[in-house]
Amino acid sequence: MQNSSYFIKLMMKWKFHFMVITISAIVVSAVFSSEFFIKPRYKSFAIIYPSNIIPYSSETPSEQLLQLLESSDIRNAVVNKFKLAAHYDIDTTSKSGLFDLIAAYQANVEVRRTQYNSIEIKVFDTDAQIACDMVTEIINALNLKARNLQREKTKEVLAIVSNQLLVKKKQVDSVNSILQELRVKYQLLDYEVQVKEVTKSYLKALSGGARKESLKDIDALMRNLEEKGGEYYQMKETFDILLESYNTSKLDYDKVMSDLNKILTYSNIVSKPYPADKKSYPIRWVIVAVSVVSTNLLLLLILTIMAKKNKL
């Protein structure tokens, strides 16, 4: 309490000086925080949720989205499209040009995960429209990056499925060639049906006194069935199994091809970006208030030190 009353008395004694300092601080801070000295910055933002993201390891879709947004590919796409080196007035040919450009980008672009597992993208710029367009471009670049990554993985799967399909087709063609030879050379078309029909025809021919030519033809077909019927039956069973396996692989191949050609987006936009109609920085009243308080505290400190020296 004694200290408080001491400072109050000191301030009352030098109230004119405090008034002058306060007015001066207000004027100076107001001038130096104006657009002539500090360019105003506008904020644009968007909130997105992950969509169609294939999970990797133990990362959540939001974490994967965050990693993609922080990739150099997305940053470079935005930097190149908006010519940010010139926009930020950075000479990239200088020794630290690239470092300065990345630092400026990171200072103006903020990506974070919210408490609801969504992703917030914020961009600050001296041009409200550019800030808005940069947020939109970041989302577009994100979709392109995620799509390319997914297509690379799909191409790997496609190569595997294509090889499997090729192997199965060769197997089917090989067995079908053997079956075709048995059909042409030995007249074997359907083993089970032909056995029944040949047996029936043979017995009928014998009982009816058929001509020798007919018996000869039936006898030749019976010998073909005896000699090659088992092989034909086995090949036909193998062919059916291979054909079913080939058709399954063909369905897998068609699905992978469909996935490869899909044009998906990987973010659901909850809040769309828009050009701000009010600057976010600098907040002039904060600068003025801080300047007034700091200058008055400095004056109070100086007066306190002077008062103590005078007593000594």
Question: Per-residue pLDDT tens for 254-312?
Answer: 998 888 888 888 888 999 999 988 876 666 667 777 888 888 788 778 877 777 776 64
The residue ranking higher by pLDDT, 136 or 27, is 136
* Residue 4 burial (C-beta neighbours within 10 Å; 0-12, 13-18, 19+): exposed
pLDDT score, position 282: 63
- Spatial separation of the C-alpha atoms in residues 95 and 159, rounded to whole Å: 45
Q: What are phi and psi of 44, to 5 degrees?
A: -130, 145
Tally of CB atoms within 10 A around 51: 15
What percentage of the chain reaches a pLDDT higher than 70?
A: 76
Q: Choose among 73, 267, 76: nearest CA to 152.
A: 73
Determine the pLDDT at residue 239. 84
Structure tokens at 62: 């939001």
pLDDT by residue (tens digit) across 169-204?
Answer: 999 999 888 877 777 676 665 655 555 555 555 545
What count of residues does the chain have? 312
Lowest mean pLDDT among 43-52, 122-131, 261-270, 280-289: 280-289
Closest CA to 306 of 78, 14, 8: 14
> pLDDT at position 40, please?
79
Query: Could you give the angle at the alpha carbon of 177 between the alpha carbons of 171 and 183, nearest 5°?
Result: 140
| pLDDT recorded at residue 1 | 46
pLDDT, position 289 = 79
Sign, Cα dihedral of 272, 274, 278, 280: positive
Structure letter (DSSP) for residue 1: -
Question: What is the overall mean pLDDT for the chain?
Answer: 80
Strand 119-125 relative to strand 267-271, pairing: unpaired
pLDDT at 74: 94
Tell me the mean pLDDT in the region 120-142: 94
* Range name among 75-79, 202-206, 247-251 with the lowest pLDDT average: 202-206
What pTM was computed for the model?
0.68
Q: Residue written as tokens 């930020």? A: 88
DSSP letter at 53 equals P
pLDDT at 188: 63
Give the pLDDT score at 189. 58
Contact yes or no for 269/46 (Cβ under 8 A): yes
Q: How far apart are CA 101 and CA 114, in angstroms?
A: 27
At residue 312, the pLDDT reads: 47
**Among candidates 125, 134, 132, which has minimal Cα distance to 42?**
125
Smallest CA-to-CA distance from 118 within 269, 272, 273 is with: 269
